[in-house]
Structure 1
Amino acid sequence: MKWEELMSLKRQGDTSKRLRKEQDDTRLGFEVDYDRIIFSSAFRGLQDKTQVIPLSKTDFVHTRLTHSLEVSVVGRSLGRLVGKQILEKYPYLTEIHGYHMNDFGAVVAAAALSHDIGNPPFGHSGEKAIGEYFKTGNGQRFKAALSDKEWQDFIDFEGNANGFSVLASDREGVEGGLRISYATLGAFMKYPKESLPKKPTSKICDKKYGFFQQDKAFFEDVAKEVGLIANKSVGDIGFERHPLAYLVEAADDICYTIIDFEDGINLGLIQEEFALEYLIKLVKKGIDPKKYNELTTKEDRISYLRALAIGSLIGDAVKVFMENEEAILNGNFPFSLMDKSQYKAQMEDIIQISIKNVYQSKEVIEKEVVGYQVINTLLDKFCTAYINKTNGIASNYDNLMLKLLPERFQVIKDDTMYHKLLHICHFVSLLTDGKALQLFDTINGKK
């Protein structure tokens, strides 16, 4: 892979080449990506989507939106630090093509900002709930009408693939979704493969899948434009990762490891002593004992340690990336960056504490149970109504249900069964936690 291709400014529908040296630095294309994402309705919806702790109104617990903003900040730092060293290593990227250090930061920041944009309500259990509706619920009735790969898209419903649809799928009058640059779309693709074959290798890029069958052609167009390396046999689609996708993943890994731990401490689910025991291992080289001892509140002490910990992990991720940059460009780095971090053991210890005390807390379990019921009900009612309508057998109840859909989802198309089902899954996935609960209560006559 070549950096000048990986950093493509092309957007869907372009008829001429966008060259970096001809860009207006006051309105750089990569920064436009960030703006388009942050002003999108899908991104705004993340403010009422669970990160870990459900529907909490406390001041310090993260939603998907605050988490995404923090991941983008860490991603920008990672991108700039790596970009600086890339340009020093390959000066022609600046001299001939006009790339700047901040370009790398802008791409990683935009991709990181959108990394959760396709996640359904109720956290990761929302993805599982959609999948299980089709795998073991009433959605099983649709299997015979779908190809194997189409069926896999549903039974392993994936927020990353859904996010790619949000960013890139056409809809009536809107070509190319948000029209994000191909460099940012490439960096967004943590799992650049289709849903089958499932986990064909132990490579990190094959862990999940990154696009639905409906988006296959455009996904391949992006991969070809930025020069990703194909790694699947004839008939299957998959690629090695865009190098900057490793930085997006690292930013996410750093944030959820440290910040979910911080949330657990601030909520009283994890004892403050654990912060000292576990975070101190990450920050012992940078901590100022005098400054730390002057902090009088738990929140301030944890914030101080968190900031130092994130700084340590950023520096280490950049080191791992640059040590393996040539292997990454050649498609020969099958790990995440943090898998090779000197702090891997410390991060795993922190995650295990969070799993035990936060992710498996009663409040989180209750949220997941409710989420399964809500999503199962919404999918069943809306899929039935939508398919009955397209088949010309809609009841009055079906018609009423369809009127509950937002305007852009009320468009009835004579599509394949796959597209009809994906249309409803896309609608449900973009609901906030609160709106999903509201619709559930309406359907069940509680409102």
Structure 2
Amino acid sequence: MAMTWDNCFSSKRFGIDNASRDTRSDFERDWDRLIFSSPFRRLQNKTQVFPLPEEIFVHNRLTHSLEVASVGRSLGGLVGEKIAGLPEVKANAHAATFYASDLKYVIAAACLAHDMGNPAFGHSGEEAISKYFKKRDTTKEEDLTFKQLFSPEEWKDLITFEGNANALRILTMKQQGRMKGGFRLTYSTLGSIIKYPCAALASLKKGPIHRKKYGYFKIDEEVFLEIATELNMIREDGQAETIVYKRHPFVFLVEAADDICYSIIDFEDAHRLGILSYDEVRDSFLSIISSDPATNMDSVKRVADDLQGDANESIAYLRAKSIGTLIQKATAAFWNNREAILAGTFEKSLADAIPELEAPLEKVASISRQKIYNARKVVELEIAGFRIMSGLVEDFVTAALTPGDQREKEHQKILELLPSQYEFDESGSPYRKVMHILDFISGMTDVYALKLYRKLRGIEM
């Protein structure tokens, strides 16, 4: 069945047949389930870019996710209103209502969830989790024997741990003592977070946008296929051996909301921390705002200058104007490319589909790479986080994969630290045991990971 605007959404919930009804729409309930969840709350103690304890005003993953959700809600509302006006959608009352009233809730909920699979200490945490397995990806006899414990698909998951795939796992897996279906979100919300709808072995760093990373672990393959089927996602031609689908259209809106926020917000945080000057940030934001010919730039500059007595407030004003401009531009980019997006042939992000913003956004990205992501405190955090996370993985995975009758007392004690929902079946495969360990470690906050690492190393009692 071909994907259309009428059949690419679903209010059905993963893991449940009959949902109860109340005054909220199914898609509003997705938002509420996420907001009140423990994995979402833990984002408040996960690094976004800058170390957490120093500045209460810089963003962590929770505040970032809330802001992305706000932008996503605006994008969903603007795009949904346009799609609702299409003749083929207007002819279907159910579809017209969804786009006019509910798409904004789907995108907002997906934005809330988009970073829930990211481990502690920023993006270095992902690589750190894989370090143990990468170190064992050698031609040594003992490492070859170890590698043979896993299938090629499973091994690829382990040597390239992916936060996007982990988010899908967190939202859908049944933990020990928990309900089937995980969060039991609607298929529409789940489909909206799968940026890379392919298996790990199909991912290509220099490939098309939907294959630059991967979207699900081998252990969750059936879950992914169920979502793809329910939403009528398009399977890529010529991919018989590995699973590859084209992105769901809603993914582009979630991605745009994230792109808008991190590119702009990192600049604001860097200004607060004294990494970037007022003029540097002001000029970059003004170059974005000026891309909209309808904007009265004289008025914008006057307000910014009037607020300069409080430089942070002046930058906050320009940040808000920049985000507003980017929302309008991303909406137009989606609408202008809607047919290619629906057909699965659109091969760039919405941010990259705005020609007039190519130079201003590249300047922002260049300054970010040079001055923000290479700032001393950021690099120090990444190095520390890398060692902490890779050390925890080595401790727990070694204990888990040591046969029960060969475990030393230290191994037994380490495994006793696993919370009950992450305990594994001793008769299960090595891959399933490892995934239970990674479920535990990837969910840790910066603070918890640091404390546990210190205790296991005898640094703290």
For normalisation by structure 1, the TM-score amounts to: 0.94
How much does 1:260 deviate?
A: 0.4
**What's the counterpart of residue 345 of structure 1?**
359
**What's the counterpart of residue 379 of structure 2?**
365
| 1:203 corresponds to 2:208 | yes
Q: 1:40 aligns with which of 33, 37, 44?
A: 37
**Mean alpha-carbon deviation: is it higher for 346-355 or for 240-249?**
346-355
User: Per the alignment, do residues 126 and 264 of structure 1 end up closer, same or farther by CA in structure 2, a change over 3 Å counting?
Assistant: same
Equivalent residues of 2:422, 2:439 under 8 A apart:
no
**What's the counterpart of residue 171 of structure 2?**
167
How much does 1:397 deviate?
A: 1.2
How much does 1:386 deviate?
A: 1.8
Partners of 2:118 and 2:181 lie apart in 1 by: 20
**Mean alpha-carbon deviation: is it higher for 278-287 or for 326-335?**
278-287
How much does 1:445 deviate?
A: 0.9
How much does 1:97 deviate?
A: 6.3
- Structure 1 segment 189-200 matched on structure 2, within 5 A: 189-199=194-204
Partners of 2:296 and 2:21 lie apart in 1 by: 40
Cα deviations by residue, 1:74-102 (Å, 9 ceiling, x for unpaired): 00000010000000112124367642523
**What's the counterpart of residue 445 of structure 1?**
458
**What's the counterpart of residue 13 of structure 2?**
11
Q: Which runs of 5+ in 2 are unaligned?
A: none
Equivalent residues of 1:166, 1:177 under 8 A apart:
yes
Partners of 2:167 and 2:243 lie apart in 1 by: 18
Partners of 2:351 and 2:446 lie apart in 1 by: 31
Q: 1:423 aligns with which of 428, 431, 436?
A: 436
**What's the counterpart of residue 53 of structure 2?**
56
Cα deviations by residue, 1:293-339 (Å, 9 ceiling, x for unpaired): 22121100100000000000000000000001111111110111111
Stretches of 4+ aligned residues off by more than 3 angstroms: 13-16, 93-98, 137-142, 410-413
| 1:293 corresponds to 2:297 | no
| 1:176 corresponds to 2:181 | yes
- Structure 1 segment 141-156 matched on structure 2, within 5 A: 142-156=146-160
**Mean alpha-carbon deviation: is it higher for 204-213 or for 38-47?**
38-47
Q: 1:225 aligns with which of 201, 223, 230?
A: 230
How much does 1:432 deviate?
A: 0.4
Partners of 1:102 and 1:218 lie apart in 2 by: 28
Counterpart secondary structure, 1:234: coil
Counterpart secondary structure, 2:116: coil
User: Per the alignment, do residues 6 and 417 of structure 1 end up closer, same or farther by CA in structure 2, a change over 3 Å counting?
Assistant: same
Equivalent residues of 2:44, 2:63 under 8 A apart:
yes
Equivalent residues of 1:93, 1:99 under 8 A apart:
no
Partners of 2:101 and 2:364 lie apart in 1 by: 32
User: Per the alignment, do residues 138 and 195 of structure 1 end up closer, same or farther by CA in structure 2, a change over 3 Å counting?
Assistant: closer
How much does 1:411 deviate?
A: 4.4
Partners of 1:45 and 1:261 lie apart in 2 by: 24
How much does 1:14 deviate?
A: 3.7
Counterpart secondary structure, 1:343: helix
Q: 2:220 aligns with which of 215, 220, 225?
A: 215
Equivalent residues of 2:175, 2:422 under 8 A apart:
no
Partners of 1:56 and 1:301 lie apart in 2 by: 25
Give the letter aligned to residue 41 of structure 2: R
| 1:384 corresponds to 2:398 | yes
Equivalent residues of 1:87, 1:93 under 8 A apart:
no
Partners of 2:78 and 2:389 lie apart in 1 by: 41
**What's the counterpart of residue 122 of structure 1?**
121
**What's the counterpart of residue 407 of structure 1?**
420
Counterpart secondary structure, 2:201: coil
Equivalent residues of 2:205, 2:213 under 8 A apart:
no
Counterpart secondary structure, 2:268: helix
Cα deviations by residue, 1:37-68 (Å, 9 ceiling, x for unpaired): 11111111110100000123413200011001
Partners of 2:421 and 2:156 lie apart in 1 by: 26
How much does 1:117 deviate?
A: 0.1
Q: 1:2 aligns with which of 1, 4, 9?
A: 4
Q: Which runs of 5+ in 1 are unaligned?
A: none
Q: 1:236 aligns with which of 234, 237, 242?
A: 242
**Mean alpha-carbon deviation: is it higher for 180-189 or for 97-106?**
97-106
| 1:330 corresponds to 2:343 | yes
Give the letter aligned to residue 159 of structure 2: I
Identity of matched residues, %: 41
Partners of 1:385 and 1:95 lie apart in 2 by: 53
How much does 1:132 deviate?
A: 2.3
Counterpart secondary structure, 1:6: coil
Equivalent residues of 1:47, 1:65 under 8 A apart:
yes
Counterpart secondary structure, 1:58: coil
How much does 1:27 deviate?
A: 1.2
Give the letter aligned to residue 434 of structure 1: V
Query: Would you say how many aligned residue pairs link Structure 1 and Structure 2?
Result: 441
Equivalent residues of 1:138, 1:380 under 8 A apart:
no
| 1:436 corresponds to 2:449 | yes
- Structure 1 segment 230-269 matched on structure 2, within 5 A: 230-231=235-236, 233-269=239-275
User: Per the alignment, do residues 87 and 437 of structure 1 end up closer, same or farther by CA in structure 2, a change over 3 Å counting?
Assistant: same
Partners of 2:101 and 2:132 lie apart in 1 by: 44
Counterpart secondary structure, 1:269: coil
Partners of 2:92 and 2:33 lie apart in 1 by: 26
Partners of 1:96 and 1:405 lie apart in 2 by: 45
For normalisation by structure 2, the TM-score amounts to: 0.92
Equivalent residues of 2:137, 2:147 under 8 A apart:
no
